[in-house]
Structure 1
């Protein structure tokens, strides 16, 4: 295939478990840029936050594309334009609060540059630290006072199977819930996913989606890997994501799995 765009999930894919971009991966990303191949990142976090990773990783170039909020936000760096798609309605947000009473969890949303939550615990502090955002404790009704791209629920890892099963057993025609981390379940409009964000990138920039190489590791990456010309799952990824991929890396994210795949694919030559 001819690769014109490489787009990557971040956690457990592009960075290691310490949230670091390794020197080898950084070198390969710079080489991609120098060869004129577009580079983008895709995550469940807000696009404005994701753009700042350029500074955190000390990259000498701006991201060409940033897919945020699992596809509800898109920053097109080529045309310097921002887009948002399909917000969760207020009544849907309220409904998810009832749905998630099946397990003990802490709801959270991004709002005005902060993370809103019901109470502060170790998991919420971790979320705030990794996203470089301030925590704001609010009442339950504040979660559905405005439309939002998504709502998230932090819970203990051992409670996730029960939460996932409950959501699967109670489907909704308008929105869906899915695991994005071992302790995090999210809800968003059914039309939204990272694959949708990738398709919008291609439409806006006259790119053939067959010329895209996408990397991911878990369920919220599945649609992106399915629509890309080459979908690559990390060897440390989940089984459902491996099943969606065209290829699986030889090494995990702690051992430069993504970089090794790029080098062996030949697109850096």
Structure 2
């Protein structure tokens, strides 16, 4: 791959370490890409209000070129200084999803008016609140979660039960929404048309970029479409089996070993003389 124009990365378990640090080596690689005119962006299940803070928080003197939030339901184009919103779950679908997942007694929650509105406040929810820098609000009734449309609803579960949930969700398909794993303890539901790939394609079309010129990094199921549609899709060696299966390549080092940075340096920066 010679004509690289855009590098886009998932965040958790991909770009940052397990304790959510962006290392100096990763920052150096992104700076070198930026210096040579390569666009850079992040794609996450987190909302845009969080993603917009990351460049400054990580010490960059420039904003990222593209931000994909809520697994593709939100898109920020830095060049245009414009935000785009796409398909959301209808209220009745959210209600149906809650009922569908009831057998697992999972802790479900949504992003709501700048805070996390959840079923109960437990250790997993406190972890989510800390990583997103958002306040926890416990619902009075489930109806609060489906009073209006939302980009997604999330379910915190244990790692042990996740395989059973994945099978269960696959056995109960819907023509309107889809369920997918975004972490080993997090199952999410969104409109079936939404994906990181969907938002990436929109960005590329608006900016006359070829998908073949995109390098994408990810680690788990919600990254699969993005890796598949890019010119080069790379899965972290710490990634899930399904993502490794669809990836064009797999890093030799994990997210805790600067896997992204080492891959970019060995496959692009050194060969290009950057």
TM-score class normalised by the smaller sequence: over 0.9
Q: Which residue pairs with 1:97 in the alignment?
A: 98
SS in 2 for 1:63: coil
Describe how 1:23-172 pairs up with structure 2 within 5 A.
Answer: 23-138=24-139, 139-172=141-174
C-alpha distance in structure 2 between counterparts of 1:206 and 1:79, whole Å = 13
1:133 is paired with a residue of what secondary structure?
Answer: coil
Q: Secondary structure at the match of 1:146?
A: coil
Residue 266 of structure 1: how far off its partner (Å) = 2.0
Q: Deviations over 1:60-92 (max 9, x none)?
A: 110100000000000111110000001100000
**Could you tell me which residue of structure 2 aligns to residue 175 of structure 1?**
177
Between the aligned partners of 1:126 and 1:95, the Cα distance in structure 2 is: 26
Report matched runs for 1:179-258 at 5 Å: 179-258=181-260
CA contact (8 A) 2:56 2:63 kept: no
State whether residues 237 and 253 of structure 2, in contact with CA within 8 Å, keep that contact through their aligned partners in structure 1. yes
Q: How far off its partner does 1:262 sit?
A: 0.4
Mapped partners of 1:99, 1:180: distance in 2: 19
1:86-122, CA deviations, whole angstroms, 9 ceiling, x for partnerless residues?
A: 1100000000000111212111100111111011000
Deviation at 1:174, TM superposition (A): 0.9
Secondary structure, counterpart of 1:153 in structure 2: strand
Cα drift, residue 176 of structure 1: 0.5
**Please, what TM-score do these two structures have when normalized by structure 2?**
0.96
CA offsets 1:217-265 (integer angstroms, 9 cap, x no match): 0000000000000000001111110111111111011111100110011
- What is the distance in 1 between the residues matched to 2:203 and 2:108? 30
Alpha-carbon separation, structure 2, partners of 1:159 and 1:231 = 29
Partner of 2:261: 259
| 8 Å contact kept, 1:102–1:163 | no
The unaligned stretches of length 5 or more in structure 2 are none
SS of match in other structure, 1:180: strand
The one-character-per-residue Cα deviations of 1:156-213 (angstroms, maximum 9, x if unpaired) are: 2212122111111010011100111111100001110111111011011111111000
CA displacement, residues 23-49 of structure 1 (integer Å, 9 cap, x when unaligned): 100001111111111000000010111
